[in-house]
Amino acid sequence: MTRLLLAHQTAEPDAFVETLASAVVGIGGRDVALFLIDYAHVVLTPHVAGHKPGGEPEPASLDGSMAGRAFTSSTVVAAEHDDGWHVWVPVTEQSDRLGVIALTLPDWNDQMEFLLTELGLAAAPLLLASSQYTDLPHLLRRRQNMDLAAEMQWSILPPLSFAAAGMTIAGLLEPAYEVGGDCFDYAYNSGILDLVVLDCVGHGLRSAVLASLLVGAYRHGRRAGDDLPHLASRVDTAASTFPGEQSFATAILGRLDNARGTFDWMSCGHPLPIVIRDGVTLPDVDVKPGVPLGLGALGTVVGDMTRVQLQPGDAVLLYTDGVTDCRMPDGTSFGEERLRDLFAREHAAGASPHEVVRRLTRTAIEHSEADLRDDATMVYVRWEGPGQ
């Protein structure tokens, strides 16, 4: 790994695969390729040393490919072929899954597996660092043209997944290449996870600009130490300064104390969170509804702040109404009950949070059988207990 770190310091940022290839020469590694997950989390796009985008092998589906298996399971996968061992190594930063390294080796054993697991862990932060200097990783992740609004939205998002001390959060946006109103944000500070899901009015560029403003206001307040009502008030004030009519957003703000397992949340005109325990969803709590942020009513009307005492293994799903409102051609909607049932089933199956979100999102899209009528966002939080 030292060789990889040293090579990275002087390599051109878009020569990342060449740097990886040089790091595995000593163990006989060859045919190195980097597969990056696309924005919609459907396929892995390959890039081979010396190739430019468009000249690489075929993308690998997450379902039915060895690269997809390594990605979804976050484990090293190896298979023996006539020309050696073909190996796929997950590239993961914390729990944020970025892609897979594929290579061929002359031999395979436990020591090789250990070394390549370390390679995947070391490659992830270096890949993220390289993406600050080159557009190549961003271009590889695109399977279709991305509009300006989506470009702006993706630029303000945090990593899609994060895990620490028994707590995991994972989120996903759709439609990935046209999203313009939904966004989410989170941060983990001194054992406290703060998170927000925003659904800005409208769609497209104006909504994306509004979302950027509101995320900035949220981060400003969070870093100033605001509690949830003051955070909501700060974002409400920012939205009210946005020019033009109907500049508002529904939102749900949450705060998870990782040591105590308390989850405080506050809804501002937004769908309520779904909490699952022991394989079933808990009934909705009776709360006073808040108003969307930007309507200038927070000075007099503030929604209830609700506390849920989580138990180890509990999970919380936050979502926008684009998920439940997506419709089949016959007019039937996906609906909250269907979402609750699917969430309970996926959670009970024991999949990782990012895999749960991906499956729920793909199911909602397949249900619609067409382009989504509205942005659809899901953020999933799982708490295993302090120190797990």
Rounded distance, CA 114 to CA 120, Å?
Answer: 10
Task: Quote the tokens at residue 300.
Answer: 């007099």
What distance in Å separates the CA atoms of residue 334 and residue 280, rounded to the nearest whole number? Answer: 19
pLDDT at residue number 303: 64
Does residue 388 carry a pLDDT above 70?
A: no
Q: Whole-model pTM above 0.75?
A: yes
Average pLDDT of 79-84?
Answer: 94
Q: What's the pLDDT at 278?
A: 87
Residue pLDDT, tens place only, 349-379: 888 888 899 988 888 777 765 555 667 899 9
pLDDT score at 300: 45
Q: What is the mean pLDDT of residues 102-106?
A: 95
Main-chain phi, psi angles of 358, to 5 degrees? -60, -45
Per-residue pLDDT tens digits for 164-177: 888 999 999 988 88
DSSP 299-347: TT--PPEEEEE--TTEEEEEE-HHHHH-B-TTS-B--HHHHHHHHHHHH
What is the rounded distance in angstroms from the CA atom of residue 310 to the CA atom of residue 263?
7
Which range has the worst mean pLDDT, 85-89, 123-127, 165-169, 329-333? 329-333
Contacts of 313 (CB under 8 A, 6+ apart): 277, 278, 382, 383, 384, 385
Residue with the bigger pLDDT between 90 and 281: it is 90
Instruction: Give me the chain's average pLDDT, please.
Output: 88
pLDDT band at 58 (very low <50, low <70, confident <90, very high): confident
| Residue 118 Cα to chain centre, angstroms | 23
Q: Which domains can be identified in the chain, with CATH numbers? A: 2-140 (3.30.450.40), 148-383 (3.60.40.10)
Q: How confident is the model at residue 315 (pLDDT cuts 50, 70, 90)?
A: very high
Whether residue 296 contacts residue 268, with contact meaning beta carbons closer than 8 Å, is answered with: no
With beta carbons less than 8 A apart as the criterion, state whether 191 and 258 touch: yes
pLDDT of residue 63: 87
Give the pLDDT score at 283.
83
